[in-house]
Amino acid sequence: MATDFKSLPVIDISPLLLKCDDPDMAEDPGVIQVVKQLDRACRDAGFFYVIGHGISEDLIKKVREITREFFMLPYDEKLKIKMTPAAGYRGYQRIGENVTKGKPDIHEAIDVSNFTDLGCRLLRKHMRK
């Protein structure tokens, strides 16, 4: 259950990314600290801001522009990629479709994540040099 918080939690995930290919990463003190911060932020605030990801500002700006364009599309267009079990629960989620504690959320969303064993390599591809 979320509690009162004074500011948006900011979490530096760089220690996690540095160890993502290490089979012993779960024992690394830096990784443990990041995991504890993520746990606390999720429990207290329900969301957080991530830094230390290494993704360029140009890529972030491009993703925001594309996202804004997507959500401005007509409803029927967005439904072409509707979230379904067959799609692995990825895709467009209409307003009210997500239910939290029995109440429909008043937002629409798109879930395009698919972090598999390729996750670390894909992240590194977009990290600043």
pLDDT tens per residue across span 89-102: 888 899 988 888 89
pLDDT digits (tens, 9 = 90+) for 5-15: 688 999 999 99
Q: Which residue has the higher pLDDT, 105 or 116?
A: 105
pLDDT above 50: residue 129: no
Share of the chain above pLDDT 90, in %: 38
pLDDT value of residue 128: 45
Show contacts of 16-22: CB within 8 Å, 24+ apart: 17/52, 17/53, 17/54, 17/120, 17/123, 17/124, 17/127, 20/119, 20/120, 20/123, 21/120
pLDDT at 118 over 60: no
Q: What is the mean pLDDT of the chain?
A: 83
